Structure 1
């Protein structure tokens, strides 16, 4: 993968520019605390993971792949090579050990999504490709790779299938199961929103440009195309910083929860606020400095040192045998 990126830089004059490859990056290092807490609550639901994997394997995964391979345009090094290059670059930076398939789908939203847990794919909407700069698009691609790297996809899919299963079950149980299904759906949707904060951090780590992340969010929020040259990210940043003021009023907290309880994504300004808070804490810079200073591990053993204690690992472990550090979910 790194050879591919080097070839793109030397032959096309494009590529990483000033962005740094974050060697041995683990998703748990940039995982948002809201994501972690919400996931812990979900993981305590008896049988949820088993049910999720069963439906993912036998139904959702195949249907989704069939849908996008039949209706979307696949991106590769020959077809839309500039977009494929951004995907390769983002995978290098975030240390994803394979390159997911990428498809373009007609829709003029400035957005995209990832789907599938066994063999995840990324879908970008035409609006994102037309309306975003390359650095902004790299942020979006990095965001979706963040979902994949963190292993978010299994429960994301169940958020859409649980309501259907609940309706079927409620017919058989005189409506009792619909109550349980609704509660579980709301819990899944809440975690989905929290997982977006983690993926936003991955997007910023991929593009390594706060201004690009903010302008991408502004375009996602609805800035008209003929006003793109008038975008002032500093005003949006000020708006995002002011958003925290609403959190001090408990009534506003309840109001915000009710307004977005059925949504899969938090408000864009809320997402921008969380990114800025992370950057201001110094955690973003610490990750960049820490992982860009690590040299690529070479040799035939296929092992690498744990970043916490130095114990040799293969990268497949969930926890370090030496110190117990939890690695990324995937």
Structure 2
């Protein structure tokens, strides 16, 4: 079904000129297509195809959003036809024939509020070319130069730039590659604009307006402007161009004037190295710096938090090992007390009588038996001097003794030894009362 508004050109009227796109564009496109294709394939496999559902949702959201812009153009711009601005319409039809665009895109003229430019876009498979009125007014003295703008935008359509851009997105972000492909596209479209221009000088005038403004372009010394390309090899000039989507205008003018024989100075090697670390955001070096700043504001707090978490885990692990060694010493003492009770049916007066010796590991400061509560308490050396491990006895109906481990002091739950619990409050009355009753039991048996 033919699209409404896409008017086909008649029969043999399409005679595409011998336009040679920029040589590097095709090579860069192949590289980007391979990278993006692999990324889409990987995402499809990793998400089991769900990525395409997400893309459909994003497409619908973008469709509604972009519809406003297209509606704005169609509602406020002036559609150029054979009846409306026929001179521009004739130029447009002629350029479509030259560039090989078989169906006329919708062509609009609208105010640019001072902007000197034109653009092409696509909505629901329909193409649009918009020429801003300011550029038309600026080129009153050379109306043939308007053909350059029309041809340049038609070049984006002929080269299918508006079709490929969405699925090349992954490769577009790659430093150097994405911007190189974008600049190559502009050089290619300049050749389409040159083919539509009546002469090379008009094409140069078209770019001169972008460089010198709507009036001063008339007295621009083209050769002097082209000579400025010799200064583009400097570090900052090179960095900003390598991270930009558009070549420097002086270079574009030079290529129009001198063609493929144009030779530009080699860019600074350090500029290449720096640019290789800067992703393509579509806003050049400034956009990349904003992204890096944004990431810095996010990643620095995350990194600090992650490092703090790592330190906490490492400290907890170290504390757990040391408290486990202290617990082992206390448990040994408690077992001796339990064995003594099992043999004698009363508690010992102290641990020395049982032959217990404090381990010489530098962690345990002392191990003591409380004769009242019959608790084994392990005190520790620095840096754990604020902590202590308490082993409290309990007896079942058969008189068998078991020991529970309680840790007093500031200890993270992850640092507690196995079989131990943290005392929420050292003045826990319930714990004290239970221990005292058990102590009375021991003394009664004694």
Same fold (TM > 0.5): yes
Contact 1:75 1:103 in 2 (8 A): yes
What is the root-mean-square deviation in Å for CA atoms of aligned residues?
Answer: 3.7
Which residue of 2 is the match for residue 276 of structure 1? Answer: 257
Which residue of 1 is the match for residue 119 of structure 2? Answer: 113
Distance 1:182 1:207, change over 3 A: closer
Which residue of 2 is the match for residue 289 of structure 1? Answer: none
Q: Which has the higher Rg, Structure 1 or Structure 2?
A: 2
Which residue of 2 is the match for residue 136 of structure 1? Answer: 145
Deviation at 1:214, TM superposition (A): 0.8
Contact 1:115 1:157 in 2 (8 A): no
Find 2:90's aligned residue among 60, 63, 85: 85
Find 2:245's aligned residue among 264, 278, 290: 264
Cα deviations by residue, 1:144-193 (Å, 9 ceiling, x for unpaired): 1111111111345679xx6xxxxxxxxxxxxxxxxx89934874443222
Q: Which runs of 5+ in 1 are unaligned?
A: 5-20, 163-179, 282-330
Find 1:231's aligned residue among 219, 226, 233: 219
Could you tell me how far apart the structure 1 residues matched to 2:26 and 2:10 are? 35
Range with greater deviation from structure 2 (258-267 or 41-50): 41-50
Cα deviations by residue, 1:225-266 (Å, 9 ceiling, x for unpaired): 2x45x524xx213431x345346x5xx2x5334213554322
Distance 1:135 1:33, change over 3 A: same
Could you tell me how far apart the structure 2 residues matched to 1:69 and 1:158 are? 27
Distance 1:34 1:257, change over 3 A: farther
Q: How does 1:1-330 map to 2 (within 5 A)?
A: 23-25=15-17, 29-47=19-37, 59-60=62-63, 62=67, 64-107=69-112, 108-116=114-122, 118-132=125-139, 133-156=142-165, 183-184=173-174, 187-225=177-215, 227=216, 230-232=218-220, 235-240=221-226, 242-246=227-231, 249=233, 252=234, 254-278=235-259
Contact 1:197 1:275 in 2 (8 A): no
Deviation at 1:25, TM superposition (A): 4.1
Could you tell me how far apart the structure 2 residues matched to 1:41 and 1:155 are? 13
Q: Which runs of 5+ in 2 are unaligned?
A: 1-7, 42-51, 263-446
Could you tell me how far apart the structure 1 residues matched to 2:196 and 2:247 are? 21
Which residue of 1 is the match for residue 353 of structure 2? Answer: none
Cα deviations by residue, 1:70-111 (Å, 9 ceiling, x for unpaired): 343222222222211111111122222111111223212221
Deviation at 1:24, TM superposition (A): 4.3
Deviation at 1:42, TM superposition (A): 1.6
Normalising by structure 2, we get a TM-score of: 0.46
Which residue of 2 is the match for residue 13 of structure 1? Answer: none
Distance 1:36 1:2, change over 3 A: closer
Could you tell me how far apart the structure 1 residues matched to 2:78 and 2:187 are? 28
Could you tell me how far apart the structure 1 residues matched to 2:195 and 2:68 are? 32
Which residue of 2 is the match for residue 299 of structure 1? Answer: none
Contact 1:214 1:237 in 2 (8 A): no
Cα deviations by residue, 1:182-229 (Å, 9 ceiling, x for unpaired): 93487444322220000000000011411101111111113352x45x
- Decide which structure has greater helix share: 1
Could you tell me how far apart the structure 2 residues matched to 1:184 and 1:193 are? 14
Cα deviations by residue, 1:30-68 (Å, 9 ceiling, x for unpaired): 1102322322222122347898x9666873564553342
* Number of positions where the alignment pairs a residue of Structure 1 with one of Structure 2: 236
Could you tell me how far apart the structure 2 residues matched to 1:217 and 1:70 are? 29
Could you tell me how far apart the structure 1 residues matched to 2:60 and 2:35 are? 20
Could you tell me how far apart the structure 2 residues matched to 1:105 and 1:262 are? 31
Partner SS state of residue 79, structure 1: coil
